[in-house]
Amino acid sequence: MASAGKELSLSPGLLYRPGLLDRAAQENLVEQIRAIVERAPLYVPVMPGSGRPMSVRMTNCGPLGWVTDKERGYRYQPTHPVTREPWPPIPAVLLDLWREIAGYGKDPEACLVNFYADEAKMGLHQDRDETDFSAPVLSISLGNTCLFRIGGLLRTDRTRSLKLESGDVFILGGEGRLCFHGVDRIYPGTSTLLKAGGRINLTLRRVNP
DNA sequence: AAGTCACA
DNA sequence: CGGC
């Protein structure tokens, strides 16, 4: 891992661990993601109903993956929507990280891999497609810095913005598990980790109790 | 609204 | 905001 030091609780259940992963750990993760994307290619998810494409590209690893399409909407499923193959397994280093810091007895079932090109965004939303809200959502940032926005349990609650940098870990757990959050912008050229630019976000989730 | 946009 |  890396520095066990800094740990900021923004509000109950929201834990920010800036710089938790050192450069070597980040490079190792990028290599693992590269292998995952070879087997489970990135695809463009679309909004339920409208079919409007999102700006991020997406894939998953783990027994379950989060997917969305025009007809069936948001859900978890065991196979890639394009290749129909099972998702690749979650890398051991990610399972280790979860076991060390998630504070939850069971392993994650899903690791959503979101790739943000420098123009991509993610609207304010809640992660609420899981059946187990007692498990936290653990988020890892790799590559270019983003402007992350986090609010409360209501869409209209006041939000705060913070920059998430490569190697930062953010945990939504406890009272913060269902907080609205999103990505307002990517800052191009702020990291040398991904040679082609952009940002990768990994979110580890427990889906079922 | 896991969407976009305008405006202060 | 407004199309679903």
Q: How far is the CA of A47 from the C1' of C2 (A)?
A: 16
CA-CA distance, A36 to A38, in Å (whole number)? 5
Tokens 């936290």 -> residue: A136
A72-100 pLDDT tens trace: 999 999 999 999 999 999 999 999 999 99
A157-209 pLDDT tens trace: 888 999 999 999 999 999 999 999 999 999 999 999 999 999 999 999 999 99
- Taken in order of first residue, the domains within chain A and their CATH numbers are 8-205 (2.60.120.590)
Check if residue A50 sits with its Cβ under 7 angstroms from strand C.
Answer: yes
Letter string b/e over residues A152-169, b meaning 16 or more CB atoms within 10 A of that residue's CB: eeeeeeebeebebbbbbb
Check if residue A156 sits with its Cβ under 7 angstroms from strand C.
Answer: no
Q: Is the dihedral of CA A89, A95, A98, A103 positive or negative?
A: positive
Give the CA count within 13 Å in the CB-facing half-sphere of A41: 5
